[in-house]
């Protein structure tokens, strides 16, 4: 993380501020994935956290809590950091795709599209969101290890590229596209690359449910030669998520170029390579992911070197980051409620959300940092465990958090909640999903409305016989 000069001695939440210029066009701006708080975060005269020029406590008073607060400047800056580094380091064409599984909604899709990004979608629902946001089909790539026939038909209709994952899908597509020409497909293979991250989010190793096994490369290429209705544009691989090493991505570029060259030799019209996503972010000050710029440079140089050695033209290079684009651009604000002291063991303080708006701690054991938004300069002298409100002992957002003394009604923000929080939210315990606001230059706009109790009943149907018992 980018630390302020006082870090190490600063025992307050101020230590988490990026403390740096927030101009999205400033090439020297900090890499967005290395900060805990959004770039525009600052502390105002009332000692309250401000994001995008909006006072977080006031936002909670206005929009309620829990509340996702998304900083437009940080998101646009992250997009530009990817874009500008590609421009600087890649000599061929390129396309950055936003992995919308990290957080898919119309406003986010619209922002990334306006920054020139395309979208990786992984279901008809995400595809529909991309289309509704006006994303052009040439910039949409559909993934998935078990796409339904409906999803494939929808993708063909839309005209996006389908990333074929397995034999069954290839056969189904050959059939569905039989009366068409040039349906664009990309091939996903498992590269056999191990990386260090949580086992649930590793995808590059051979024993993965995603992608063709590399041994089937010849067979797949032959099948495509015999399927003129499908136009194979190239190869895709994704090795995992929340990765801090650069080496596995460098290794991946070599493997992708080898497959690509083989497909070229087999006479397929390939022109694209997609290296997936996976760059990690900082969730605590102890984590040090590489900069976006470093990751992009490694990927660009890897592909360029491998192409030079193989003596082939540069492909269009694609990547599809999710977490590193949006993870640190957002915080979740909660209201502090009850507390419980277990003498000699710990103090719990409970907030008005939890595992239904952030499933990552209970799912992956992920760590987060928090601050009391209305007490940013008060030393964090208490160790407390921040509990959610769900009927489940494991619903703990942060164990042993360092915070200043808090009271019911205080606003607690959890940092770095932009990726895989809202997108994995549930209605567990019939709790409505929170609202999300987009903040920029002192303006806050709702981008996702808070669910109502009536929304929770939207899908409920009551069979008549339960209402009118038989005589």
Active site residue ranges:
391
Task: Please say whether the beta carbons of 108 and 447 come within 8 A.
Answer: yes
Identified binder of ligand LLP from the candidate list 80, 283, 323, 389, rule CB under 6 A? 323
The residue among 63 and 103 lying less far from ligand LLP, judged by its C-beta, is: 103
Q: Using CA atoms of 99, 103, 108, 111 in order, give the dihedral in degrees to the nearest 10.
A: -30
Q: How many CB atoms lie within 10 A of CB 180?
A: 10
Binding of ligand LLP by 361 (CB under 6 A) = no
CB environment 117-151: b (16+ within 10 A), e (fewer):
bbbbbbbbebbebbbebebebebbbbbbeebeeeb
Task: Please say whether the beta carbons of 197 and 234 come within 8 A.
Answer: no
Contact positions with ligand LLP (CB under 6 A) in 50-79: none
How far apart (Å, rounded) are the C-alpha atoms in residues 419 and 78?
13
Q: Write down the least CB distance from residue 429 to ligand LLP, Å.
A: 21
Binding of ligand LLP by 273 (CB under 6 A) = no
Binding of ligand LLP by 276 (CB under 6 A) = yes
DSSP state of 355: T
The residue among 201 and 399 lying less far from ligand LLP, judged by its C-beta, is: 201
Binding of ligand LLP by 14 (CB under 6 A) = no
Q: Write down the least CB distance from residue 316 to ligand LLP, Å.
A: 17
Residue 64 contacts by C-beta under 8 Å, 6 or more apart in sequence?
435, 450
The residue among 257 and 281 lying less far from ligand LLP, judged by its C-beta, is: 281
Binding of ligand LLP by 282 (CB under 6 A) = no
Binding of ligand LLP by 310 (CB under 6 A) = no
Q: What are phi and psi of 117, to 5 degrees?
A: -85, 155
How far apart (Å, rounded) are the C-alpha atoms in residues 454 and 458?
6
Task: Please say whether the beta carbons of 283 and 360 come within 8 A.
Answer: no
Stretch that binds ligand LLP, among 64-72, 103-111, 271-279, 450-458 (CB under 6 A): 271-279
Give 243's strand partners.
Answer: 279
Q: Give the pair of three-digit tokens for residue 172.
A: 């189904």
Contact string 137-166 vs ligand LLP (x = CB under 6 A): ------x-----------------------
The residue among 295 and 334 lying less far from ligand LLP, judged by its C-beta, is: 295
Q: Write down the least CB distance from residue 156 to ligand LLP, Å.
A: 20
Contact positions with ligand LLP (CB under 6 A) in 233-252: 238, 241-242
The residue among 101 and 369 lying less far from ligand LLP, judged by its C-beta, is: 101
Stretch that binds ligand LLP, among 77-85, 154-162, 276-284, 445-453 (CB under 6 A): 276-284
Binding of ligand LLP by 102 (CB under 6 A) = yes
How far apart (Å, rounded) are the C-alpha atoms in residues 109 and 49?
27
Task: Identify the H or E element spanning 443.
Answer: strand 443-448
The residue among 186 and 403 lying less far from ligand LLP, judged by its C-beta, is: 186
Stretch that binds ligand LLP, among 249-257, 275-283, 310-318, 332-340 (CB under 6 A): 275-283
Task: Please say whether the beta carbons of 397 and 44 come within 8 A.
Answer: no
Contact string 105-134 vs ligand LLP (x = CB under 6 A): ---------------x--------------
How far apart (Å, rounded) are the C-alpha atoms in residues 340 and 410?
16
CB environment 352-380: b (16+ within 10 A), e (fewer):
bbbbbbbbbbbebebbbbbbbbbbbebeb
Q: Write down the least CB distance from residue 237 to ligand LLP, Å.
A: 9
Q: Give the pair of three-digit tokens for residue 288.
A: 């040090």
Which residues of this protein are in contact with ligand LLP, per CB under 6 A?
A: 99, 101-102, 120, 143, 201, 203, 238, 241-242, 276-279, 320-324, 360, 364, 419-420, 424
């Amino acid at each position: 993380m980018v630390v302020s000069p006082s870090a190490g001695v600063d025992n307050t939440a101020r230590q988490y501020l990026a403390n740096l210029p927030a101009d999205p066009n400033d090439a020297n701006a900090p890499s967005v994935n290395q900060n805990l708080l959004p770039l525009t975060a600052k502390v105002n005269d009332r000692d309250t956290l401000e994001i995008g020029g909006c006072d977080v406590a006031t936002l909670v008073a206005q929009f309620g809590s829990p509340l996702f607060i998304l900083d437009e400047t940080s998101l646009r800056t992250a997009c530009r950091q990817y874009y500008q580094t590609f421009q600087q380091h890649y000599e061929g064409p390129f396309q950055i795709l936003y992995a919308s599984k990290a957080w898919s909604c119309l406003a986010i899709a619209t922002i990334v599209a306006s920054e020139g990004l395309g979208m990786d979608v992984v279901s008809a629902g995400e595809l529909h969101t991309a289309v509704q946001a006006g994303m052009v089909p040439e910039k949409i790539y559909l993934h998935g290890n078990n796409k339904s026939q409906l999803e494939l038909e929808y993708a063909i209709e839309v005209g996006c590229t389908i990333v074929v994952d397995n034999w069954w899908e290839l056969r189904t597509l050959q059939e569905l596209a039989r009366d068409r020409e040039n349906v664009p497909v990309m091939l996903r293979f498992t590269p056999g690359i191990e990386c260090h991250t949580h086992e649930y989010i590793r995808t590059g190793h051979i024993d993965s449910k995603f992608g063709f096994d590399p041994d089937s490369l010849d067979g797949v290429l032959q099948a495509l030669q015999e399927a003129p209705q499908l136009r194979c544009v190239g190869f895709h691989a994704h090795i995992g998520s929340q990765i801090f090493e650069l080496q596995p991505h460098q290794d991946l570029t070599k493997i992708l170029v080898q497959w690509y060259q083989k497909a070229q030799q087999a006479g397929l019209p390939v022109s694209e390579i997609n290296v997936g996503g996976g760059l990690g972010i900082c969730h605590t000050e102890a984590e040090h992911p590489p900069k976006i710029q470093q990751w992009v440079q490694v990927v660009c140089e890897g592909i360029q070197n491998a192409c030079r050695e193989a003596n082939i033209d540069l492909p269009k290079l694609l990547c599809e980051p999710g977490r590193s684009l949006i993870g640190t651009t957002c915080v979740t604000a909660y209201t502090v409620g009850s507390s419980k002291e277990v003498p000699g063991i710990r103090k719990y303080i409970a907030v008005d959300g939890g595992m239904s708006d952030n499933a990552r701690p209970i799912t992956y054991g992920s760590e987060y940092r928090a601050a009391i938004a209305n007490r940013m300069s008060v030393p964090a002298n208490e160790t407390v465990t921040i509990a959610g409100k769900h009927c489940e002992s494991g619903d703990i957002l942060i164990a042993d958090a360092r915070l200043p003394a808090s009271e019911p009604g205080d606003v607690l923000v959890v940092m770095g909640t932009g990726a895989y929080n809202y997108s994995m939210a549930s209605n567990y315990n019939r709790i409505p999903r929170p609202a999300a606001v987009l903040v920029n230059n002192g303006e806050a706009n709702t981008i996702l409305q808070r669910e109502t109790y009536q929304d929770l009943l939207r899908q409920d149907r009551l069979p008549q016989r339960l209402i009118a018992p038989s005589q």
